[in-house]
Amino acid sequence: MYETADIRKGLRIELDSEPYAIIEFQFVKPGKGNAFTRTRIRNLINGSVLDRTFKTGEKLKPADTQDRTMQFLYRDEGDEEFHFMDNSSYEQVALDADLVGDATNYLVDNMEVNVAFFRERPIGITLPNFVVLEVVEAPPGEKGNTVTGASKPVVVSTGYTVNAPMFVSEGELLKIDTRTGEYVERVKA
């Protein structure tokens, strides 16, 4: 069991038989009365966000979640389901597009990701912080615009559009931050 003193960002707890992750928290000690911790929590199954207050000393049940490293295999027609395989047991799991979320912008075949399970049911994925993707479409850079730090939209192999410097051209590899969706650097092949 966790106590309110253990609350930190990313902590997974169980409330009303559902898993939640702490997004934000603030310890409050009013001039009068008992201290408490004000939190924002996200439901890991449906994504809803709640504000919840816990009294100091209140016990919190840890969520029964496990993270497994799995390999992305393929997506179904129409991008409705995404299939992953556990590298140790070769068990395959299909996740709905809703559970995968924005990660669809970065998923390439054979990529390893962490899939979170709650009571043996997949509830979401965590990507590596950085991915390397190939540029498949890039408008030509204008002459003289290379020094100003200007950027242009380029399309990478997954279909995602990212703003990159003017000197980036088709066929190049880009390192992209999956947390922000931003260009980091060019990668030499």
Query: Mean pLDDT over all residues of the chain?
Result: 89
Q: Residue 95 carries which side chain, given as an amino acid letter?
A: L
Residue 125: name the closest of 81, 160, 170 by CA.
81
The pLDDT of residue 102? 86
Query: What tokens were used for 120?
Result: 């043996």
Residue-wise DSSP of 58-114: -EEEEP-EEEEEEEEEEE-GGG-EEEEEETTT--EEEEEHHHHGGGGGT--TT-EEE
Q: How many residues belong to the chain?
A: 189
Residue carrying structure tokens 């993270």:
67
- pLDDT single digits (tens) 128-171: 999 999 999 988 866 665 566 778 899 999 999 999 988 888 99
Query: What tokens were used for 48?
Result: 């809803």
How, if at all, do strands 92-96 and 49-55 pair? unpaired
Distances (CA, A) of 130 to 41, 91, 126, 175: 26, 26, 11, 6
Backbone angles phi, psi at 84, to 5 degrees: -130, 155
Residue 123: name the closest of 61, 178, 47, 71 by CA.
47
**SS3 call for 175:** strand
Q: Which CATH architecture has domain 2-62?
A: Roll (2.30)
Decide: 176 and 129 in contact? Cβ < 8 Å. no
- pLDDT single digits (tens) 70-106: 999 998 877 788 999 998 999 999 998 888 888 889 9
Same fold flag, 2-62 and 130-187? no
Decide: 169 and 138 in contact? Cβ < 8 Å. yes
Q: Report domain extents, the chain.
A: 2-62, 65-126, 130-187
Q: Which CATH architecture has domain 130-187?
A: Beta Barrel (2.40)
Q: Is pLDDT above 90 for 13? A: yes
Helix H or strand E encompassing 97 = helix 97-100
Considering the four listed CATH numbers 2.40.50.140, 2.70.70.10, 3.40.1350.10, 1.10.8.60, the one that applies to the domain covering 65-126 is 2.40.50.140
Q: Residue 162 carries which side chain, given as an amino acid letter?
A: V
